[in-house]
Structure 1
Amino acid sequence: MSTPTIDDTATPHSAALDAAESGAVELVTITLRIRRFNPEEHPDAVWVDYQLTVDPKERVLDAINKVKWEQDGTLTYRRSCAHGVCGSDAMRINGKNRLACKTLIKDVNPEKPITIEPIKGLTVLKDLVVDMDPFFQAYRDVMPFLITTGNAPTRERIQSEEDVKRFEDTTKCILCAACTTSCPVFWNDGQYFGPAAIVNAHRFIFDSRDEGAEQRLEILNDREGVWRCRTTFNCTDACPRGIEVTKAIQEVKRALVTRRY
Structure 2
Amino acid sequence: MAGEGKVFGEEIVKEVLFRVHRFSPDGGGARMQEYRVPVRRGMTVLEGLHYIRDNLDATLSYRFSCRMAICGSCGMFINGLPRLACQTQILELESDLIEVKPLPNYRVIKDLVPDLSPFFEKHRSLMPYIIRQDEPEGELLQSPEELNAYLQFAYCIKCGLCYAACPTVATDEEYFGPQALAQAFRYTADSRDGGWEVRMEVACSPEGLWHCHFAGACSEACPKGVDPALAIQLLKGEAVFVRWGLKRLHPPAPEAPKVTEGKRREGIPEPPPPTVSKEE
Q: TM-score range by the shorter chain?
A: 0.7 to 0.9
Q: Tell me which residue corresponds to 1:70.
A: 55
Can you list the C-alpha shifts for 1:5-33, whole angstroms capped at 9, x where unaligned? xxxxxxxxxxxxxxxxxx97352101111
Could you say which structure has the higher helix fraction?
Answer: 1
Map of 1:182-261 to 2, 5 A cutoff? 182-259=165-242, 260=247
SS at match of 2:100: strand
SS at match of 1:256: helix
Following superposition, the deviation at residue 244 of structure 1 comes to 1.6
CA–CA distance in structure 2, aligned partners of residues 196 and 244 of structure 1: 10
Q: Tell me which residue corresponds to 1:28.
A: 14
Give the one of 29, 40, 53 matched to 1:55: 40
Q: Which amino acid aligns with 1:202?
A: F
- 1:119 counterpart = 2:95: no
- 1:137 counterpart = 2:121: yes
- Structure 1 window deviating more from structure 2 (251-260 vs 94-103): it is 251-260
| RMSD between aligned residues | 1.4
SS at match of 1:33: strand
Q: Which amino acid aligns with 1:79?
A: F
Equivalent pairs counted in the alignment come to 236
Give the one of 83, 106, 109 matched to 2:68: 83
Following superposition, the deviation at residue 56 of structure 1 comes to 3.6
- 1:94 counterpart = 2:79: yes
- 1:180 counterpart = 2:163: yes
Retained in 1: the 8 A contact 2:12–2:38?
no
Over 4 Å off, 4+ runs: none
- 1:168 counterpart = 2:151: yes
CA–CA distance in structure 1, aligned partners of residues 27 and 83 of structure 2: 28
CA–CA distance in structure 2, aligned partners of residues 157 and 71 of structure 1: 54
- 1:149 counterpart = 2:108: no
Can you list the C-alpha shifts for 1:96-134, whole angstroms capped at 9, x where unaligned? 0100000111111232x1110001111111111111110
SS at match of 2:149: helix
SS at match of 1:76: coil
TM-score by length of 2: 0.82
Identity of aligned residues (%): 36
Retained in 1: the 8 A contact 2:72–2:159?
yes
Q: Tell me which residue corresponds to 2:261.
A: none
Gaps of 5+ in 1: 1-22
Q: Which amino acid aligns with 1:240?
A: P
Retained in 1: the 8 A contact 2:158–2:179?
yes
Retained in 1: the 8 A contact 2:132–2:195?
yes
Q: Which amino acid aligns with 1:54?
A: V
Following superposition, the deviation at residue 180 of structure 1 comes to 1.5
Following superposition, the deviation at residue 39 of structure 1 comes to 2.4
Retained in 2: the 8 A contact 1:28–1:56?
no
Following superposition, the deviation at residue 41 of structure 1 comes to 3.0
Q: Tell me which residue corresponds to 1:37.
A: 23
SS at match of 1:54: strand
